[in-house]
Structure formats: structure tokens, C-alpha cells
Amino acid sequence: MAAKLSKAKRPKRRWIGFSFPSSISSRNELETSFGQFLPGEIYFRLYDVHFSGSEVVVNSRELHSIEGDIGLGIVCVNLVDYEMVRQCFVSSNAGLNLNSLSSSGKIRLVRQRLGLPKPKKK
């Protein structure tokens, strides 16, 4: 078995907090939407997903004065792909209505900015 890579040698990541439309009602649907939204070679992983109408989203919308019926999520991308992903959010996203709200190198800061709780361990 190979030795574990040290923290300095692992790929650097960025977490992006985003909103998505209320029409998306499952994690699989959201992953499919991201697959269509991003170029095929970009690695991404969904972390937190809170769907429209949940108590977490309602509280976050009130806290940040966000209008509309949306869901909130956090996606992780590699640092080398970060600029391309940001451009995908800025440019027309093929009617998928995914909007970037915050980003950071630390997931804790994105959660804090969006008012999302840390998930409980299972």
C-alpha cells in the first residue's frame, strides 16, 4: 500500500457556495445539472445540499435578504479548474439558473457566509 500524500503535496481545492432553482429536488438531479453546466474534464464534488423550502434555506434567505424560491449548496473543485468554473457561473449557464454566492479555500468560511450548518456525522 502506498504512503499517504502529505498535505502540501495534495491538490489544492476551492469550495463554491451556490444557489439552484427549486425545480431541482434531488442530489442526483443536481449532479446531472452540474455535469451539463461544467466542461467534462473538470472534477467536482457536491458537499452540502439544502433544497428549497428547508428550514436551513429559509433562515439563510432571511439572513441574506435573498428573494425567490431557491436551494443552496456547496461544490468542491480543484484550484487549477477554479477560474474556469467561475467563468461558467458568470457566463450564461444554459438556463440552469445556478448562481455562485461565495467561494473560499476553506469550506468552513463558505458555510459561515451562507449561514449553513455543519452536517452531523452519521
Average pLDDT across the chain, whole number: 85
Higher pLDDT, 108 or 65: 108
What are the boundaries of each domain within the chain? Answer: 12-114
> Which pLDDT belongs to residue 108?
93
Pairwise CA distance, residues 51 & 63, whole Å: 17
The pLDDT tens digits for 79-116 are: 999 998 888 888 755 566 788 889 999 999 999 998 88
> Which pLDDT belongs to residue 17?
92
pLDDT band at 15 (very low <50, low <70, confident <90, very high): very high
Q: Which three cell numbers stand for residue 68?
A: 425567490
Strand pairing class (99-104; 13-21): antiparallel
3-state per-residue secondary structure call for the chain: CCCCCCHHHCCCEEEEEEEEECCCCCHHHHHHHHHHHCCCCCCEEEEEEECCCCHHHHHHHHHHCCCCCEEEEEEEEEHHHHHHHHHHHHCCCCCCCCEEEEEECCHHHHHHHHCCCCCCCC
Pairwise CA distance, residues 120 & 20, whole Å: 23
Question: Does the structure show a pLDDT above 90 at 40?
Answer: no
The CATH class for the domain spanning 12-114 reads alpha beta
pTM of structure: 0.85
